[in-house]
Amino acid sequence: MKPGTIQDLCAYLNVKETFATALKKAAGLRVRKFDLDRVKRWWMDNPNFQVSQVYPRSPSDGSMFIPLRGKFYDEFEAGTKTTEYRPYNGRFNERTCRPGRAVVLSRGYGKSRRLRGEIVSFRVEKNPKHLPGWVECYGSVEKKAACIEIKIST
């Protein structure tokens, strides 16, 4: 018996930690220290093993996830805010924020307070300092803003 931990297993089999953890779980080992050779034998007996068998991916519906500060989430929820402002970049641009795309607005990163909606329009603002909440969130840095108009589903 060659006892070890997940880190030992990574070095022993030359694999990443996620793969080693999935292997250990699939081999039925629930203890912190375990027999490294037993896991290796299990892996040799199951050559088609994949991490997704232990940790399946959750299906995505293609919605854009946008976490919001509480104040701005509450405004969307009350119907007083319809446009979200973000720095124009690879995540927020014409391609990713196309009209018709589903959106999930979250109060922070928690899962309990979520709103679903759809992007209605998108535009780029070259001087965003006058936009409501822009300076509060992003300061007075010179950058473009992605203006994403969202219709909340009821």
Task: Put residue 28 in one of left, alpha, beta given phi > 0 → left and psi -120 to 50 → alpha.
Answer: left
pLDDT digits (tens, 9 = 90+) for 11-27: 888 888 888 888 888 88
Helices (H), the chain: 6-13, 17-26, 36-45, 70-78, 134-138
At 86 the pLDDT is 95
Which residues, in sequence order, are CB contacts of 137 under 8 Å at separation 6+?
A: 69, 85
> pTM to 2 decimals?
0.63
Predicted local distance difference test score (pLDDT) of residue 58: 65
How high is the pLDDT of residue 59? 63
Q: Which residues pair with 124 in a beta bridge?
A: 146
User: What CATH number is given for 64-152 in this structure?
Assistant: 2.30.130.30
Domain positions in the chain: 3-53, 64-152
**Which residues of the chain register pLDDT less than 50?**
none
**pLDDT number for residue 53:** 84
